[in-house]
Amino acid sequence: MKVTLDEVAARAGVSLATVSRVLGRRGAVAEATRAKVLEAMHELGYSRSTLLHDAPRRLVAVGAPGNPEHWQVQVCTRVAKALQDHDLLVTRPLVETDPEPLRIAIDAGAVALVTPTLTSLHTDIPCIRVDEQSATTSDELGRQVTGGAQTDGTAARGTATGAAPAGEPGGPAAGPAGADIIAARLDLGGGMTTAFEHLRAIGHRRIGLICNDSGELAVQLIRRFLAEHPARNLGLTLEDWIARVPKSFSGGSRAVLELKDATCTAVIVQSALQLHGALHGLRNRHLQVPRDMSIVGFGDSPTMKFTGPPATVLGLDLEGLSNALVAATLNTLRISSTGLPTVPPVFRPRLIARTSTTAARQ
């Protein structure tokens, strides 16, 4: 039977936080107390991969969620390369949908999980991830981040504000081993507002959303869609303008026609596959983008410049997100002693205006 940290704490007569500090080798712990914790672990037969901190090369799991978005794959690729450049071993398990690959990585000695997933995974090792910027702080932090349109087709970069140092509340290295460590936040509300402002400026009011039928990102996009929609106070049933479909070409093709029939004149689309499907579905009905339907994608990718027509998107600062995850990982593993700013950086998606959006037809 698996021995828990609570049992170790009870046997040693110390708090759970003290056991976590001993395991994570962070914070001040008296030698006598440390010895009691280690003795309790030995008596109970407790062992875990995080005790391998002094190995010549440590193993880090860099995991994308199952069926990830393009931007999540790109962030994982950048993070993995950067960590390898710091002489860390990297494994790439998928997370969320199947816990077994992650469990295998932990059993093999992984000392941390780094992921662009937006939900807690409740791992036994530190989980360094991104999170959605909460509604309670978005107004305050919205004054520190900027969004705007780029028309040159280049990758957009969100403006970020600081990240907390180790041991400070909310900071990247705060919390015990096994806790979530928020390295960066995505201001999805600000991104959705940017998309709405762009579409409203060119005359659109009936704006729909195509999103995945599962996953935390879809949940957050729906929540922000309902909270930020320009028609939210007009007594309309905004749920009728949300199409939850599989992340697939056929899902996007079907969803855009449903929203067109619901009299939407513009849609925001979560995934690239759905966006390609939406373009195909409209063409099959002899409709044109953007004349009959304007489309805004979430997240940029190389293919977005070559859709017919090139897609207007909410681009993410992949380099900034990756750097924040890497910095928090190195800080957590005590590889870097560089101090980090006071709050996790906040990245707001920024509009890259191409030709898949135009003025609504009157």
Q: What is the pLDDT of residues 108-130, one digit of tens each?
A: 889 999 999 988 888 889 999 99
Decide: helix, strand or coil at residue 34: helix
194 lies in some domain: yes
The torsion region of residue 299 among left (phi > 0), alpha (psi -120 to 50) and beta comes to left
Q: How far apart are the first and last CA of the chain?
A: 68
Same structural domain, 277 and 334: no
Average pLDDT over residues 331-358: 88
The domain that contains 43 carries what CATH number? 1.10.260.40
Total number of domains constituting the chain: 3
Average pLDDT over residues 197-203: 96
Same structural domain, 172 and 193: no
Is the pTM of the predicted complex or chain greater than 0.75?
A: no
Average pLDDT, the chain: 83
Predicted pLDDT of residue 177 = 55
List the single range of 64-78, 87-101, 241-255 with lowest mean pLDDT: 87-101
Decide: helix, strand or coil at residue 262: coil
358 lies in some domain: no
Centre a 10 Å sphere on the Cβ of residue 4 and count the other Cβ atoms it contains. 12
Q: Is the pLDDT of residue 96 over 80?
A: no
Residues in the chain, overall count: 362
Same structural domain, 163 and 238: no
361 lies in some domain: no
Decide: helix, strand or coil at residue 41: helix
**At 40, which helix (H) or strand (E)?**
helix 31-44
Average pLDDT over residues 257-282: 96
Predicted pLDDT of residue 153 = 36
Whole-number CA gyration radius for the chain: 23
Residue-range definition of the domain harbouring residue 67: 59-188+317-349
User: At a CB cut-off of 8 Å and minimum separation 6, what does 214 contact?
Assistant: none
Predicted pLDDT of residue 87 = 86
The better pLDDT of the pair 215, 168 is held by 215
Order of strands, edge to edge, in the sheet holding 312-315? 149-150, 350-352, 312-315, 294-298, 266-269, 207-212, 242-245
Q: What is the pLDDT of residues 26-84, one digit of tens each?
A: 556 788 888 898 888 888 887 654 444 444 468 999 998 888 899 999 999 999 999 99
Local confidence band at 172 (pLDDT 50, 70, 90 cut-offs): very low
Order of strands, edge to edge, in the sheet holding 127-132? 89-91, 59-62, 110-115, 127-132, 180-186, 346-347
**At 312, which helix (H) or strand (E)?**
strand 312-315
Same structural domain, 289 and 279: yes
Same structural domain, 200 and 275: yes
350-352 vs 312-315, strand pairing mode: antiparallel
196 lies in some domain: yes
The domain that contains 288 carries what CATH number? 3.40.50.2300
Cα–Cα distance measured from residue 129 to residue 88, given in angstroms and rounded to the nearest whole number: 18
Decide: helix, strand or coil at residue 351: strand
